[in-house]
Chain A
Amino acid sequence: MLFNSLQFIFFLPVVVLLYYLLAHKYRWILLFIASSYFYSVFYFPYVFVLYAVIIIDYVCGLLIERSEGRKRWWWLVISIISNIGLLSYFKYTNFFIDIFNETAPFVHISKHIKNLDIILPIGLSFHTFQSLSYTIEVYRKKQKAEKHIGYFANYVLFFPQMVAGPIERYERLGNELRISQRLSYENFSHGLRLVLYGLFVKMCIADNLAPMVDEVYQAPESYYSSSVWMAMIAFAIQIYADFYGYSTVALGAARMLGIHLMDNFKQPYFALGIQDFWKRWHISLSTWFRDYVFFSMGGSRVKTFRWIINVLFLFAVSGFWHGANYTFIVWGILHGIAYLLDKGVSNIIPTQIKQLKLFSIISMLVTFAVVVIIWVFFRAKDLTCSLAILKQSMSYGIEANKHLQVSCIPLSMLAIFVSLELAIINTRFDNWLASKQISFRWAIYSVLILCLLLFSGIKSFPFIYFQF
Chain B
Amino acid sequence: MIKQLLLVLLVAFITPLSAQQIIQGRVTDAATGEPLVGVNIQIKDTNYGAVTDLDGNYELRIPGSGGQFFSRKASPPVLVFTYTGFETQEIDSKDRDRVNVELTTTASELQEVVITGTATGRSPKLMSYSVGRIAGPAIGRVPADNLGSSLQARIPGLRVSRPGGQPGQEVYYQIRSANSIANGQQPLVILDGIFLSEGSLADIPVQDIDRIEVLKGSAGASLYGSQAANGVIQIFTKRGKDLEVGKTKVTYRNETGFSEVVDQYPVNTLTQREIIDSGEPQPILGNPNEGQLFSQELPNLQNYQEDFLFQRGVRQSHALIVEGKTNATNFLASYQRLQDKGVLQGLDGYTRNALRLNLDHQVSNKFSVYLSSAYTQSEQDLIEPVANGPNNFLSSTLLMTPMFTLDAPNEEDGTAFDWDIDNTGANITNPLYTRENISNRLGRNRLLGQAGVSYYPKEWLNISYAAALDRSVRNFEQYLEKGYLSTTLPDGFGTLATANVQGSNGGGILQRDQVDQTFISRLNVSAQRGWGGFNLATRLGFLYEDITQEIREGKGEDLAVRNLNSLDNARSNITISSAAQEIVAYSGFLVADVDYKEKYLFSGLLRREGSSLFGPENRWANYYRVSGAYRITQDLKIKPFQELKLRASMGTAGIRPTYEQRFEAFSLVNGELTKNTLGNELLKPAQSTEQEIGLDATIGRSLRLEFNFSRINTDDQILLVPLTAAAGFRGQWRNAGSLEAKVYEGGLNIDFARLFRFKGTAMRWELFTTFSRVQQTVTSLDVPAYYTGPGAQQASLFVIEEGRTLGLMEGEIFATSLEQLQGQEGINPADFMINDLGYVVRTDQLGTAQEAPYKLRDAGGNPIVDVIGDINPDFRMGFAHTLAFRSLELYTLFDWKKGGDIYNATKQWLYKDLRHAEVGDNPNISANFYGSNGLYNALVANNHFVEDGSFFMLREAALTLMIRQQSLGGLFKKFDHIRLSLIGRNIFTKTDYSGFHPDVSSVPRSESLLSTSAPDARGSDLTTPNGDPSLFLVDSFNYPLPRSFTFSVQFGF
Verify that A and B bind, or say they do not. Answer: no
Question: Which A residues contact B (CB, under 8 angstroms)?
Answer: none
